[in-house]
Every structure is written in C-alpha cells, then in structure tokens.
Amino acid sequence: MRIVVTGREGQIARSLAALGPQMNVEIIPIGRPELDLVTPGSIMPALATARPDAIISAAAYTMVDKAETERDLAFAVNGIGAGAVAEAAARLGVPLLHLSTDYVFDGRKPTPYVETDRVGPICVYGASKIEGERRAEATVSDLAILRTAWVYSPYANNFLKTMLKLGETHDKLVVVADQLGCPTSAEDIARTLITVARRMVGDRDRRYRGIFHLAGAGEASWAEFAREIFSTAESFGRSPVEVVPITSDQYPSPVKRPANSRLSGEKLARIYGIALPDWRTSTRKVIETLLGCNHAQARSAHSGGRQ
C-alpha cells in the first residue's frame, strides 16, 4: 500500500517515514516545493503523480504563538491548503486522513473531550485547524479526522526536546501547571495512522470514517510532563532538574491556551480496537532514543570499554 503524506519535516511525517518499512507500507512524503499548501494549485499535480492508495494530511502551520500575528498565513495553510488536499483526495478517489488538534476546544469542560463535543477555539491556531476540518468534511466523504495533542518525538521542535535542552544548562525551571492534556508520541500517532489507513482502504464501512481522538493514554499538566522528562533523563545520566509549577497567568505568552486539552480515546478503541500506550511509557522510549546512545557510551568509557 502506498500512503502519501503531506509534508516532509514535521514530527508525524518523519515518524511515518521511519515506521513505514517496519509495517510493510510505502510512505511517500511530499513537501515544498513540489507541494506547498500556500499554493493550492501545486497540490493536485503533486498528489496525483505520487499515485496514493490513501493520503495523510499532516502538513500544517503549527506555530501557535506566531499564528496570533500571522492569521492570514495560518488560515491559508491550515484552512485553504488543507481544503485543497481534501479536494485532491476526492478527485483521486482515495481515503483522506486529516490531522487536527485538541486546540479546537475552549478548555472549559471539566472532563476529557469526546468527538461530539462542541468546538470553540480560543486562539487563531485552533480556529485555523477547525477551518481545515470543515473544508475537508465539505469536500470528501471518504474521510477520517484525527485530533491529537501535545505531540513529541525525536524529531523537529517539541516540548520534550526543549526540556532536555534547557536541562543541560539549568537546575531549576518554571513550568505551567494549570493546563491539562495528553502527551502523545508521534510514533504512536504514526502507527495508528497506518492502521487506520489500511482499514479505510480495505473496508468501506462508514463507521471507520468520521472524527476520532488520537492521544496518549493518561493525562498530565505541562509541569508533570516536565517532571517525568527530567526524572527519566536522570536514569540516563543527566543531572536532576527541579520543576517549579506556575499558573498560566504567570507565564508570558501572546496566546491563550485551553486549560483542559484532554482527549478521550474511547471511540478509537471501540471502532478500531486501538488504544495508545500510557504517555509515560512512550516518553521513556523517546528519551531512550535521544539519550540512550550517549548513556551507553559513557558507561562503556567509565568501565574502560569492558562489556
């Protein structure tokens, strides 16, 4: 099976490219300049040339803070561009897996969000992603919208890598503790996307289409996520880092973020039989990838190279 992915450098695109051979799937990432979401006319030719069996719409404008001052660009990419990808999928007659975000919600609900909850973004980024969802839904029926959250991986920029970097030069960090969410490994997302794509290609049942929440099991605040990162890093030889919890009001930010970003994965488990691992398990796996080699080399040097 050939799965074409929009974008090359993002966390999920790179995780899909790494995982594809293991799952016996051909992953074809396409990005700029061949496919540019700001230039909708480039999208259909690029996707048609790749001859996909399914398309994963992963490319997006993801700079949450900058979106507040780059509204037109955020909507051009996440709205108009995503809509053009959906139009191409419809014309090619292939399933579309469209990635969205927890930021489509306002964060006021006291419990995890389910797929039928009313959306109400409180930032430009979230609003632009809702525009993409709506354009996809209006354009293609063979569609699964998968909302994910707090994505981290060994690739690109993300919270986990930022914490590890800061931990190299700080023994104490302040981290927001009043926003709750579901940290989610890009590898876990990629594995799920491939499974969902296979099912959609092989089974026309409508229950495999629609909106699904795709997030790591369990929940955490940003401060709790940071503590887990530093605690795990210590086991790989890093120095301890103290996490000092603060409120969102104490953290300077140009954008308001949802206080509750938790997503319920019950529907994905019920329909597809997919339950993502606990976020702590996947966090350790990513940190092992990032730090494990250095840790093993350090232990070998300390023991004089004896095994």
Count of beta carbons in the 10 Å neighbourhood of residue 163: 24
Judge whether 166 and 238 are in contact, CB under 8 Å.
no
Q: Which of 103, 125, 155, 272 is catalytic?
A: 125
Residue 143, SS3 per DSSP: strand
Structure tokens at 116: 């039928």
Judge whether 61 and 32 are in contact, CB under 8 Å.
no
DSSP code of residue 135: H
> Rounded to a whole number, what is the distance in angstroms from the first to the last CA of the chain?
43
CA distance 231 to 224: 10
Judge whether 104 and 147 are in contact, CB under 8 Å.
yes
CA dihedral 164, 59, 189, 231 (to 10 degrees): 10
Closest listed residue to residue 164, CA positions, set 116, 94, 107, 228: 228
**Does the annotation count 113 as an active-site position?**
no
Count of beta carbons in the 10 Å neighbourhood of residue 96: 28
CA distances, 26 to each of 1, 12, 80, 88, 162 (Å): 6, 15, 27, 20, 31
Closest listed residue to residue 154, CA positions, set 292, 23, 28, 29: 292
Closest listed residue to residue 184, CA positions, set 285, 255, 55: 285
Residue 292, SS3 per DSSP: helix
Q: Which residues are catalytic?
A: 125
